[in-house]
Amino acid sequence: MIRFATHNDIPVLKYIRRICFMEDDTFLDRYFSTRFTTYNTLVYIVNAEPVATLTMLDAEVHTPKQTLRAAYIYAVATLPKFRRKGLAEALSHYASKIIRDRGVEASLLVPASEALSAYYIKLGYATPLFVEPNIYAIMKYLAENGGVGTADEVLKFHVVKEGVPFGLIKLHFPFTSTLWKKILG
């Protein structure tokens, strides 16, 4: 079963992230006090306990021609005992439905490995995303310091035709690769 996280889930969410990402308590405390929202965090429940999670941080994708509302998919994690059972894929599909229902035009993520890139490409994240170098530095800071700003702050990504390879983007409305090229200018 998939549902939105509650504040009561925070201890288990910290445990999942500690196991999956080896994040320390200082980082986790900072993240959960500044960035966590129940509105944007999904959990996969098995036997009444969260065993996997996915977060959708509010974001914008700025191109030379327009700005798209986006969700930055962050901290997708499944406890080792529950991996390879389709939980992360189910969370991703559920998140895509929520993103579309909210009228958000795109989601983006940064896979931690080539294998994860291939996995997410199968889930529809097929468009390579390049960002201006200063945005890469901001996102590196986010990854290393438990969040930038507060939960209501929108992350801004300035997308360019060529730049720092950053991750993958999934367009949730009827965009074609031709239209995406036109959006980029």
| Per-residue pLDDT tens over the stretch 55-93 | 998 888 777 777 778 888 889 999 999 999 999 999 999
Q: Do residues 45 and 23 make contact, with C-beta atoms less than 8 angstroms apart?
A: no
Answer yes or no: is pLDDT of 106 > 60: yes
What tokens appear for 61 in the block? 């994708």
Say which residue, 184 or 29, is predicted with more confidence.
Answer: 29
| Residue 42, domain extent | 2-184
* pTM to 2 decimal places: 0.78
pLDDT top residue among 14 and 104: 14
27's tokens: 């980082």
Q: Going by DSSP bridges, is the β-strand pair 41-46/67-78 parallel, antiparallel, or unpaired?
A: unpaired
Q: How far is CA 180 from CA 3, 62, 95, 132, in A?
A: 32, 12, 22, 17
Phi, psi of 98, rounded to the nearest 5 degrees: -60, -45
Q: Percent of the chain, pLDDT > 90?
A: 35
**What local confidence, expressed as pLDDT, does residue 134 receive?**
53
The dihedral built from the CA positions of residue 115, 162, 171 and 155, taken in this order, carries a sign that is positive
Q: State pLDDT tens for residues 6-64.
A: 999 999 999 999 999 888 888 888 889 888 899 999 999 999 999 999 999 888 877 77
Q: DSSP character for 153?
A: P
The mean per-residue pLDDT over the stretch 89-107 comes to 90
How is residue 39 annotated by DSSP? Answer: S
pLDDT higher than threshold 80 for residue 137: no
pLDDT at 183 over 80: no
- State how many domains the chain has: 1
* pLDDT (average), residues 110-135: 70
H-state helical runs in 66-175:
87-101, 114-122, 133-145
Q: Strand pairing partners for 41?
A: 55
CATH number at residue 116: 3.40.630.30
Q: Which two tokens stand for residue 53?
A: 């999670």
- Read off the pLDDT band of 141 (50, 70, 90): low
| Location of structure tokens 């499944």 | 78
Q: Given a cut of 70, is residue 114 above it in pLDDT?
A: yes
List alpha helices for 7-103, DSSP H.
Answer: 10-21, 25-34, 87-101
Residue 161 CA to residue 129 CA, distance in Å, equals 8
Quick one: pLDDT at residue 116?
A: 80
